[in-house]
Amino acid sequence: MDLRRLGRTDVAVSKICLGTMTFGEQNTEAEGHAQLDRAFAAGVNFLDAAELYPIPPRPETQGRTERIIGTWLKARGLRDKVIVATKVVGRSEMTHFRKDGAEGRLTAAQINEAVDRSLINLQTDYIDLYQVHWPDRNVSGFGSNPTRWADPEPVADETPIEETLEALTALVKAGKVRHLGLSNESPWGTMSYVKAAEMRGLERVVSIQNAYNLVNRTFESGLAEVALREDVGLLAYSALGQGYLTGKYRDGALPAGSRKALFNRLQRYEKPGGEAAINAYVDLARDAGLDPSQMAIAFALSRSFVTSVIIGATSMAQLDVALGAADLELSADVLARIDELHQLHGNPCP
């Protein structure tokens, strides 16, 4: 498994990162541990979690994902060999994350409470990469890189980015966090964090975790240049379009146990034009003799601005397919055909 540099740090992360948001909901602790074992054996040294997880977010399950990772770290004794990433929620109407029942905000008090609980859950005294899950401000659309602009409603109590970064920097100085990252952030937001670090002598962000896949390449329109010039590499999530790019939902199919069947939360990939684009990419993969899942992951891995691709699975068979994408290098012909389809279909699922 190839390793890639995380931002401007001396940390090397595997080009595939194991996402864990199913642990504690669709996957039991034993199944989560088995996935972690299999991924580690394949060379994956990078794990991604969040205080929000598992998905869907519910008060009664919140924190289970981190706790499953924590029991694995303790049982295996691998803490110094694994890069652990987790996240703090941004602005949210959900009130079950904080002891006082407050809505989610990126204030110093809330960040401090969140990181301390994550450290307990993960059974560690430091987090390698601590990420802002989404902004405190209202943005044009979730993911912060929409194809069409919609004026966001300003909020009076917006926490300034500088204040959030000061709180996060204090965590680094305290030794609770090694490095900082963003998620679901825009070009303006990312550069605001970079500028605040340079102007105020604060900690620099080293990564950004946004959706990126064959039917959502909006990252390329502004954030790709930021990622390359500022060394804020992309940790690409949803490379399989929440399962749609595997082809398993084609023609209305609804596999038992799938996320759509269980939770019906896949509307991001059910936009006008989405079905035609998804089918075209699945057909391309099959015409080229490739597994559609592996082609989609390999495409994301081939981008110069990508540091790591976050994979997720609910079964070991799915995990093995995703891990196998690490060995796949797409031909120039396949990449050219992907770009032709992108020219035709654009970004239907931002």
Q: Among all residues, which ones are annotated catalytic? A: 53
CA atoms of 90 and 87, how far apart (whole Å): 9
Q: What Rg, from alpha-carbon coordinates, does the chain have? A: 19
Give the closest residue to 186 by CA, choosing from 155, 210, 153, 161.
210
Q: Which two tokens stand for residue 178?
A: 């090694």
By the 8 A CB rule, do 181 and 85 touch?
yes
CA atoms of 281 and 292, how far apart (whole Å): 8
Residue 225 CA neighbour count, 13 Å, CB half: 5
DSSP letters along 152-181, please? PPP-TTPPPHHHHHHHHHHHHHTTSEEEEE
By the 8 A CB rule, do 127 and 176 touch?
yes
CA atoms of 11 and 7, how far apart (whole Å): 8
CA atoms of 154 and 139, how far apart (whole Å): 9
CA angle 133, 138, 139 (to 5 degrees): 80
Please give the DSSP secondary-structure letter assigned to residue 202.
Answer: P
Beta strands in 172-283 (DSSP E): 177-183, 205-209, 233-236
CA atoms of 150 and 166, how far apart (whole Å): 30
CA atoms of 131 and 164, how far apart (whole Å): 11
**CB neighbour burial string for 45-79, b if at least 16 within 10 angstroms, e if fewer:** bbbbbbbbbbbebeeeebbbbbbbbbebbeeeeeb
Report in angstroms the alpha-carbon separations of 248 from 96, 241, 295: 34, 11, 15
